[in-house]
Amino acid sequence: MAFTLGEYQDIFLEEADEQLQELNQNLLELEKNPDDIEIINNIFRAAHSLKSSAAFVGLNDLSDLAHKMENLLQGIRDKTLDITPEVVDIIFKCFDQINGVIETVSSGEEPKQDLTWLMDEIQAVSEKAKPDGSEKAKTGTTRGAMSGEDMIPKTVLASDDRKNIKRGLDSGNSCSEITVFIDETAQMKWVKAQLVLSNLGKIGKVVSTMPHAEDLTDDVMSGVFKVIYLTDNSIDDIKRACNIDLVTRIDIKSITISRKEDKLVIQFGQNETFLSGDDKKNEKQYDFKSSLSKGDDGDFSSDSEEEEEDPTELIINAELESKSSAKKPAEREDSDRKKITVLKTVKVSIDKLDLLLNNVGELVIANSGFYKLYEEVRKTVIEKSLINEFKSRMEQMSRIAKDLQTGIMKTRMVPIGQVFSRFNRLVRDLARDFNKKVELVTKGEETELDKKVIDSIGEPLLHLIRNAIDHGIEGSDERKRLGKSELATVTLNAYQGGNQIFVEVIDDGRGLNLEMIKKKALERNLATRDMINSMDNNDIYNFIFTPGFSTAEKITDISGRGVGMNVVKEIVGELNGNVSIETETGMGTRFVLSFPLTLAIIPAIMTKVRKETYAIPLSDVIETIKISESDVTTIEGHEVINLRGEILSLLRLCDFIGIKTALGKDQKIPVVVVGFGNRKIGLIVDYLEGKQEIVIKSLEQNYTTVKGFAGASILGDGSICLILDISSMINQVIIEQEKISRMDRQRIIEAGEAEVEKTADLIQEPTKPDKPADAPKSGGSSFTTDTGRVSIAEKLQPKAQEPAPIPETPVKMEEKKPEGDIDELEMFDDSPKPVTKLGDDGDVDKKVHEALENFKKELRDNIKATMDTGSPSEHMVASLSITKEDLNNFQVIANIGAANAAESLSKIINKRIDLTIPEVTVMPTEQIPKFIGDIDSIYMGVMLPMIGDAKGTLLFIINEDVGFQLIDLLYGTQTSKTKELTEDGESALQELTNILGSSVINVFAEKTGLKIKPDLPSIVHDYLQSVIDSILVLHNLVNDYAVVMDTAFFFENDQIIGNLLLLPEAESLKIIVDRMGSNGGSN
Amino acid sequence: MDLNELLNKQDLISKTVEKEVAGEEIDILTEGRIIQLVSFLLDEVEYGVDILAVHEILRFPDLTRLPNTPEYIKGVINLRGNVIPIVDVRQRFGYKDAQVTDLTRVIVIETTEKLVGLLVDNVYQVVRIPESHIDPPSELIEGVSEEYITGIGRLKDRLIVILNISNILFMEEEKTGSDKQY
């Protein structure tokens, strides 16, 4: 049989928990601001109610402890005790003990904690902390020594009280002063006092008490108290009300008020004393006293035996008192009012809410069935008005159901502040343990989270904070040495972004030790060195979530076992959340936990593979696009596309669920780009159906977790659709993606971007449930124009129809980059590999990307302008039977190709690259060398033959010096070290050209639909003339004229890098141009 | 379809398998505690599940395939807002697949607070059997391993294999489960 405290146990436990939290919170505040009387009062109040409620449910030990604690607090309040760390500690210890008792009770056991040691300790501390050592008669023990008679408090009436008395008397009640004596030996006299008061309250009105009601609840005030009391009941009734166990004596004096010289005069009647324990005696005394009181029933007030002051004195006293303390009651009222502003709440178990939510979910689903029914009914029923009525009712129902749903959802939302506040104490204690100075800063406490998250988030936060303080934050000395403020901060921050809630734990400590993590990962065989080398930092940081992973040199009882982070990951994962890490050495670490806004009902994108419906939680969806089969590159069985310069691994949902796709070969493939954490993949589905709100039903409830599925949902028609677990799918794919080598990745990136068609409307505009969104059927090519004439510029700049004034010479384009966008220092770093700065990786990439986008845009703007320039002389054109228009069209593509190439180049050497607008000209072959540069200088030329449907040569010509420079950059050797072209240097340049060329060639292949591939590059290192000559030899020249696309690349300091020449064979040029036209038209 | 309906249907089924079972139950009333079983036939072997575990019996419902699960998990169904898995008992016990017929039923059972549907060829009848007539599982029965069996009930000339339903769903899950994924 479980131990229970009776029917009020639950209320008590809940309240006690809250009060403890409040106490902890306030005490921490107090430690910081020892003089803030408001805080002390708050503590006092909470400690007090804790004491009362403990006594109420019969936890007397607890109540006694709380009482001792209160004594201590009283000392603080009266400034007889200093707030020393010892005092605060002992109070914290009390809180812990109380908490212990409460936990024992809530676990259904009888609390058997021995609290006496603590009480003794309190006593010791309170003695010690007295500033002057002189005993002020405040503590219970000293009080106890006083004799009963001395302890009778003086009757002091505030003006308010007097008014009340007067009002009471006017309305026919009798007023009396009751003095109650409680047995000296009685435990917890205040409880008795409260009982007396509450008894009295039942039959009349308590005007005031001496000591004041608040103090009456404290043993300090000993066993005697006075009550000024209004009632229409007889003295007997009063006596009966007061006469409870252990009350030894009751004195009752009647009070009357009269007016004397503009002053209210309070007159006390004769004392009537009742002694309990001996009824006869009581009766006798009563008789005697009552007769006395009758005799004294005049205008005169008379002293009681105990009352020292005479009435006049009392009046003066009262006047004085009313002046000095007139504000006091008002203040009290104020503070009372403050307390009242607390929202009235009903506590409901989360299970009930869940059940309710489930039911409402069902209601919403059931309701959507009506729509179907309505459609059916509409067909058969002729009565229009009936149908309309049906429809309006149905809509009303669905509205109400939705409201109900939102309403219940909201009831589950709880501000996170209550979780945060718990950690003040933890941080304080940990900081003390580690001898560090740490401050906890909390932000966004009002952010609301699902109760389920709130209930579970405590543990992950606890681990993160522990780790932050133990490992993250340096010792005070080290911090000083590093020039950091000695006081470290741990910040808890919560905020909402989109339909995610983010909770951050930020410390300003030393940051994660990347090398150490790598080392440990290797030691523990979590990855091979190769794997680690190819991983980015974020992946490496993620190792810390592995069970048992710890970089701590020694294990403390706080952390270091490597359990914590794993727990974090797991719990957050259970809540459909995610953890990401941002860290910077020496600056600190930020853990970001993200959670979906609500857990039970989520918006999702409905997808189909054949006839099976699968839901993807919208929170995981980044975008939906359509690609064509040709965009997909396969590397070692792993499919990827290049999405706007990023490698996106693909997962075919049909493979994942083990059925065949219904998609035809030539159909555009719908891809849902999903992300989890900083990972994303593309999920290939058959159809996109639209957005829908779904209720998550767990599969575990009746079965078990199924790999790849987060749960199931019941749709409007009663059928079940499965909800994909994106995180597990991503993890699976990412493992495969890791296997792709750096080089392959690079190649994919350089291979040109997949032409994607955004189907963003799917995400932005919620479509009606049940009604599949029309999957866009048109192809995704950018060549859709009415005329069949292809003009990328037109497509991207639809308004720039009229040709701008045309400059005669090629315009050299400077990349317009906002200053400081990219860290200049980084750009000139010696390292050839992209410099990975913590946390900034993505940023730089993004900025480069942005800048290049801008550039491309400008380029396209200018294409218009340069469109008609460089018109080849008529006879040359004629001899090649190429029209001017053909050349223009060719140039359009060439532009894109060149821009792509520049982007690739910029990425490879991690520097900003400028380029000229590619110029397409027809020129006599012999003039080509002049066209490029100094005939007599030594150049390196890398040739990349184009093979396939269209033939030609791509030539990257660079000055010898620049060539060496590039090699230096690529290998990361010291600048201007390379002076001769080694085999390694050659292959570096070849690879570079390969990448550059591929990005150009791919554009052509893509735009024309032709199969064009780069062949093996070869290098010529000679005088320019010879370089060109050797090309011309290889190049299938049937004419004296050649079409040349030329673009020059520059470093940002205007130093020329080299020229990229594209020399298509005349025949191929025609093919390309034709295909461009037809391709554009067909789409 | 509830149990009453089931009992009505019982006659029909009995006829189809041409077995007369009436009258059997009378003489066993005196023999201690009696267990009621819902029995079904798989290739002439009669299996039984404790009627107390049976939640309800359904006709063949609309199934949603559940990928990445063992083959014997036919899928999940919507049972009044509950998503419950359906175990194909034939596949679970290594029988050959059978066609879904009018007699195909799903016996929804409750085990360890989970609802599971057992897909069976038919529901044969409700059998009352004294506890004393139940033997512990001894030898393998048609490839059905001991883990799935709590005992074998003897009833005149009939043997009823009494299933351990809690093991039907989860035993060997890991082995079979991981085999199938990819």
* Res. B72 pLDDT band, cuts 50 70 90: confident
Which of A24, A164, A282, A467 is flagged as catalytic?
A: A467
CB contact under 8 A, B67 and A656: yes
Beta strands per DSSP E along A669-796: 669-676, 679-684, 687-695, 709-714, 720-724, 757-758
**CA of residue A893 relative to chain centroid, distance:** 45
CB contact under 8 A, B114 and A702: yes
Chain B residue numbers with beta carbons less than 8 Å from the beta carbon of A704 are 170, 173
- Run of H or E residues at A804: none
CB contact under 8 A, B81 and A365: yes
CB contact under 8 A, B85 and A702: yes
Identity of residue A577: G
The packing angle between helices A564-574 and A451-467, to 10°, is 160
Rg of chain A's alpha carbons, rounded to an integer? 43
**What number is the average pLDDT over the span A458-462?**
85
Domains delineated in chain A: 9-143 (1.20.120.160), 149-325 (3.30.70.1110), 350-412 (1.10.287), 414-596 (3.30.565.10), 601-764 (2.40.50.180), 792-1082 (3.40.1550.10)
Residues with Cβ within 8 Å of residue A139, at least 6 apart in sequence: A71, A75, A126, A220
Chain B residue numbers with beta carbons less than 8 Å from the beta carbon of A612 are 64-65
pLDDT of residue A57: 74
Of A213, A301, A211, A223, the closest CA to residue A255 belongs to A301
* Res. A136 pLDDT band, cuts 50 70 90: very low
Q: How far apart are the first and last CA of chain B?
A: 38
pLDDT of residue A122: 77
- CB-nearest partner of A658 from B62, B67, B77: B67
pLDDT of residue B171: 55
**In whole angstroms, what is the distance from residue A415 CA to residue A451 CA?**
9
**What number is the average pLDDT over the span B60-87?**
87
Looking at the DSSP bridge assignments, the partners of residue A661 are none
* Alpha helices, DSSP H, located in A33-84: 37-56, 60-77
pLDDT of residue A311: 43
**In whole angstroms, what is the distance from residue A1013 CA to residue A185 CA?**
103
Determine the residue of chain B that is closest to A699 in CA distance: B83
**What number is the average pLDDT over the span A234-247?**
72
Residue B117 has pLDDT above 80, yes or no: yes
**In whole angstroms, what is the distance from residue A1077 CA to residue A877 CA?**
19
A815 contacts A855 by C-beta, under 8 angstroms: yes
- CB-nearest partner of B69 from A706, A718, A720: A706
CB contact under 8 A, B76 and A703: yes
A683 contacts A729 by C-beta, under 8 angstroms: yes
The tokens for A192 are: 């008795």
A697 in contact with B at a CB cutoff of 8 Å?
yes
Domains delineated in chain B: 3-174 (2.40.50.180)
**In whole angstroms, what is the distance from residue A998 CA to residue A454 CA?**
53
Which of A15, A24, A31, A48 is flagged as catalytic?
A: A48
Identity of residue A819: E
B115 in contact with A at a CB cutoff of 8 Å?
yes
**In whole angstroms, what is the distance from residue A775 CA to residue A663 CA?**
13
B170 in contact with A at a CB cutoff of 8 Å?
yes
B165 in contact with A at a CB cutoff of 8 Å?
no
User: Which own/partner contact pairs does A924-930 have at CB distance under 8 Å and 24+ positions apart?
Assistant: A924/A876, A924/A1040, A924/A1041, A924/A1042, A925/A1032, A925/A1037, A925/A1039, A925/A1040, A925/A1041, A925/A1042, A928/A1028, A928/A1032, A928/A1042, A928/A1044, A928/A1061, A929/A1024, A929/A1025, A929/A1027, A929/A1028
CA angle centred on A72, ends A70 and A76, rounded to 5°:
110
3-state secondary structure A217-237: HCHHHCCEEEEEEEECCCHHH
CA distances from A337 to A330, A333, A334, A340 (A): 10, 6, 5, 5
Looking at the DSSP bridge assignments, the partners of residue B109 are B54, B116
B120 to chain A, closest Cα gap in Å: 19
Of A672, A694, A675, the closest CA to residue A620 belongs to A675
CB contact under 8 A, B64 and A721: yes
CB contact under 8 A, B68 and A657: yes
Phi, psi at B156, each rounded to 5°:
50, -115
Q: Decide if A629 is catalytic.
A: no
A718 in contact with B at a CB cutoff of 8 Å?
yes
B73 to chain A, closest Cα gap in Å: 10
**In whole angstroms, what is the distance from residue A714 CA to residue A361 CA?**
10
Residue A339 has pLDDT above 50, yes or no: no
Looking at the DSSP bridge assignments, the partners of residue A618 are none
A611 to chain B, closest Cα gap in Å: 10
The per-residue pLDDT for range A75-95, each reduced to its tens digit, is 777 777 777 777 778 778 888
* Res. A50 pLDDT band, cuts 50 70 90: confident
The per-residue pLDDT for range A513-553, each reduced to its tens digit, is 888 888 888 887 777 778 777 777 777 887 888 777 776 65
Burial class (CB in 10 A: 0-12, 13-18, 19+), B3: middle
Chain A residue numbers with beta carbons less than 8 Å from the beta carbon of B175 are none
Look-up: residue for tokens 């609390």? A111
B123 to chain A, closest Cα gap in Å: 22
Residue A333 has pLDDT above 60, yes or no: no
Look-up: residue for tokens 């010479």? A809
The per-residue pLDDT for range A196-238, each reduced to its tens digit, is 777 777 777 777 777 766 666 555 556 677 777 777 777 777 7
Sign of CA dihedral A306, A312, A318, A320: negative
Higher pLDDT among residues A1069 and A725, named by residue: A725
Mapped onto helix, strand or coil, the DSSP state of residue A697 is strand
Mapped onto helix, strand or coil, the DSSP state of residue A30 is helix
- Run of H or E residues at A610: none
Determine the residue of chain B that is closest to A708 in CA distance: B68
**What number is the average pLDDT over the span B10-25?**
49
pLDDT of residue A142: 37
B65 in contact with A at a CB cutoff of 8 Å?
yes
Q: Decide if A358 is catalytic.
A: no
- Run of H or E residues at A737: helix A726-738
**In whole angstroms, what is the distance from residue B36 CA to residue A410 CA?**
48
- Run of H or E residues at A471: none
Mapped onto helix, strand or coil, the DSSP state of residue A917 is coil
pLDDT of residue B108: 92
Residue A51 has pLDDT above 80, yes or no: no
Rg of chain B's alpha carbons, rounded to an integer? 16
**In whole angstroms, what is the distance from residue B70 CA to residue B180 CA?**
6
A1003 contacts A1047 by C-beta, under 8 angstroms: no
Q: In what order do the strands lie in the sheet with B73-79?
A: B54-59, B105-111, B114-120, B82-88, B73-79
* Res. A290 pLDDT band, cuts 50 70 90: very low
| C-alpha dihedral (A282, A287, A290, A292), degrees to nearest 10 | -110
Residues with Cβ within 8 Å of residue B145, at least 6 apart in sequence: none
A632 contacts A640 by C-beta, under 8 angstroms: yes
Q: Decide if A70 is catalytic.
A: yes
pLDDT of residue A154: 61
Residue A429 has pLDDT above 70, yes or no: yes
> What percentage of chain A exceeds 70 in pLDDT?
64
B108 in contact with A at a CB cutoff of 8 Å?
no
B156 in contact with A at a CB cutoff of 8 Å?
no
A723 in contact with B at a CB cutoff of 8 Å?
no
